[in-house]
Chains A and B, each alone.
Chain A
Amino acid sequence: MGNARSSTILYVALLSLLVLGGSLFTGTGFAASLVIWVAINILLAASFRFVQLIGELNFAIAGFAGVGAYVAGVCTTKLGLPFVVAIVSAALAATLLSLIVGYITLRTKGPYFMLISFAFTEVLRMVYTQIDYIGSNSGMLGVFPPVLLTDYYPTFVVAVVLLSLIVLYKIEQSDFGKVLVAIRNNDAIVQTVGINVHLTKVMCLAISSFVAGICGALLAHANNVISPDDFSFLLAVYTLAYIKVGGESHIAGPILGASVLTLLAQVAMGFGPFEHIFYGAAIVIAVLLMPDGLVGIIRKLLGLPPKPQAAAKH
């Protein structure tokens, strides 16, 4: 087990260094945007997957990312606050909201939680369209990273993403992470040991939302324009695609899935309806033919034993 884990980590670390190194040379061109998108998608997928540790599909991730994006946008454009403040506020706002929402909704499980989180994302999106202060339907313009960072924004984003991934991974490997997985297996038993299952679940969602808030803030400053449609249910679906294709059983899954899908979509497909066809086909193929994603294929290639807990099933 130790060997398998460390080799995958090594693989992932090498990949990350490559990306980080590559991003130093890209400045502000399209390649830079690509690096940023891949990085943010990776983090979003990792954040979504984090909630899968307790066995839930968190479609509200798009909503929390949206909160992060808008808070960061308001900080930068309306309040003129420093960039770092914007990002931190974004993450905190998303976390706060998730604590409240999580406390209420995590009493439900499985398909019900999934549907609630889906409805919640749409409610948030519609709320954004009603608020003129943040531009309602037409969105917020002019969300720029600070001048000093403009050329190094990709590097910054990749660094933040890497850091967050390491933190998420460490939490997953820690005792807390083990409790999360135990909850997914059978939360009644965990309850009997004296652990407050409900609060633990809420914590898990909060951590995921903190990261999602960061993603939203980074995205806002990367695109410079944000609008309600950016954070619809569709964003959560794409995130799900990254995980399904990459594989849920290891944190390398979101990394692989997000990188492969984002790059393929950009390089090979062009634009327009192809985007939907591409992501849709990716999900269908992954779900039907590759239950453990690319990570599963790599495990097979490396001759490693398959991980016992592949997906969150009910």
Chain B
Amino acid sequence: MEIFGQLFLNSLQISAAYILFSLGLTLIFGVMKVVNFAHGEFFGLVLLLIAILVPWLNSPSVPLVVAYGASGAVSILATMACGWFLYHFAFKKFQRDMVGSFVLSVGLSLLIQGLFLEFFGGVPIKLPDLIEGNLRILGGAITTQRLVLTLIALLVAVTMCWLIAATKLGKSLRAVSEDHEAAMLQGIPYRKTALYGFLIATFLAAIAGALLAPVTVISANVGSDFLIKGFIAIVIGGLGSIPGSIIGSILIAVIESVGGYYFDPSLATLAMFVITMLVLLVRPKGIMGNG
């Protein structure tokens, strides 16, 4: 029975990361009908910036927590600025063009990853732990740090859901997502809403990066792996659906930890892709999707 506790904990911590990621992806798709393959690079940028800033700031006079906090804040702001930049010069022109935006974002992703590799170098970096210690819960083991980060991630996810459901901005986002022309007729500023949507999504990816910085081995293409999984999650859950992205993320996190344990991690990934294909064939809108 111990193993179920362990698998549960593994799934939980993996899904937290994917949830933050896919929330952003699905938001961009829902609002702008844009498939952003470069989303992972925001995540990567934050991680890389933190990887540079924390060792630089961390010294006897600057405690680790402050170093992490400051680096996180700076990196998130920098990434948001990049997001704004990319929106204005690239994605704005490709709204509602799923194919064109995909192609553009694929190019951007390649370009940015190449630049990361060039400037950051090939050697992976692991930053020092923020919180020490392990816990045993339900018979499984998890580091205190990961547990805290998972809980914060889930908190962010819940806040996002609330934002979408209850606030005016959230309602605008949903309206635009369902029918952007009708939304415009209602007086909702489409361009502004799309911009906010893109920025919120960027912010989510950035927060994911900041939260995962203490527990991830950071390298130039760290964004890719998360991105692919995030994509699978939102396709399965439903492109454009917030609850769908959460369900999708949990599903693939479970497949990854359970499948990886009982079978083979590569078979687990294979299974995920096959499921993606099946979903696209049988129910393209995904589990919760409204297209």
A-B complex is real: yes
A114-B102, A127-B270, A312-B99 given; A284·B107 CB < 8 A: yes
Contact B107 A287 (CB under 8 A): yes
Interface size for chain B: under 10, 10 to 19, 20 to 34, or 35 or more residues?
A: 35 or more
The interface of chain B, by Cβ under 8 A from chain A, is: 35, 89-90, 93, 97-100, 102-104, 106-115, 117-118, 220, 231, 235, 266-267, 269-270, 273-274, 276-277, 280-281, 284
With a cutoff of 8 Å between Cβ atoms, the chain A residues found around residue B112 in the complex are 280
With a cutoff of 8 Å between Cβ atoms, the chain A residues found around residue B111 in the complex are 276-277, 280-281, 283-284
A129-B266, A240-B106, A280-B110 given; A115·B280 CB < 8 A: yes
The interface of chain A, by Cβ under 8 A from chain B, is: 57, 104-105, 107-108, 110-112, 114-116, 119-120, 122-123, 126-127, 129-130, 237, 240-241, 244, 272-284, 286-288, 311-314
> CA A80 – CA B101 in complex, angstroms?
46
Contacts A280-B112, A287-B107 known; list 8 others, CB within 8 Å. A57-B102, A57-B103, A105-B277, A119-B280, A129-B266, A241-B107, A273-B118, A283-B103
The 7 closest A-B pairs by CB, nearest first: A283-B107, A280-B111, A280-B110, A276-B114, A277-B114, A273-B117, A111-B98
Contact B99 A288 (CB under 8 A): no
A119-B280, A276-B117 given; A110·B107 CB < 8 A: no
Among residues of B, the one whose C-beta sits closest to the C-beta of A234 is B110
**Which single member of A112, A241, A273, A284 contacts B280 (CB below 8 Å)?**
A112
Contact A119 B114 (CB under 8 A): no
Among residues of B, the one whose C-beta sits closest to the C-beta of A291 is B100
Q: What would 15 A/B residue contacts be, using CB atoms closer than 8 Å? A: A57-B99, A57-B102, A104-B281, A111-B102, A115-B235, A116-B280, A126-B266, A127-B270, A129-B266, A277-B111, A278-B114, A280-B107, A280-B108, A284-B108, A288-B90
Contact B114 A287 (CB under 8 A): no
Contact A288 B93 (CB under 8 A): yes
> CA A279 – CA B107 in complex, angstroms?
7
> CA A24 – CA B108 in complex, angstroms?
38
Contact B103 A240 (CB under 8 A): yes
With a cutoff of 8 Å between Cβ atoms, the chain B residues found around residue A129 in the complex are 266
Chain B CB within 10 Å, residue with most, of A122, A129, A312? A122
> CA A294 – CA B231 in complex, angstroms?
32
> CA A32 – CA B280 in complex, angstroms?
43
Contact A282 B273 (CB under 8 A): no
> CA A103 – CA B277 in complex, angstroms?
14
> CA A287 – CA B97 in complex, angstroms?
12
With a cutoff of 8 Å between Cβ atoms, the chain A residues found around residue B220 in the complex are 273
Contact B284 A108 (CB under 8 A): yes
With a cutoff of 8 Å between Cβ atoms, the chain B residues found around residue A111 in the complex are 35, 98-99, 102
With a cutoff of 8 Å between Cβ atoms, the chain A residues found around residue B277 in the complex are 105, 116, 119-120, 123
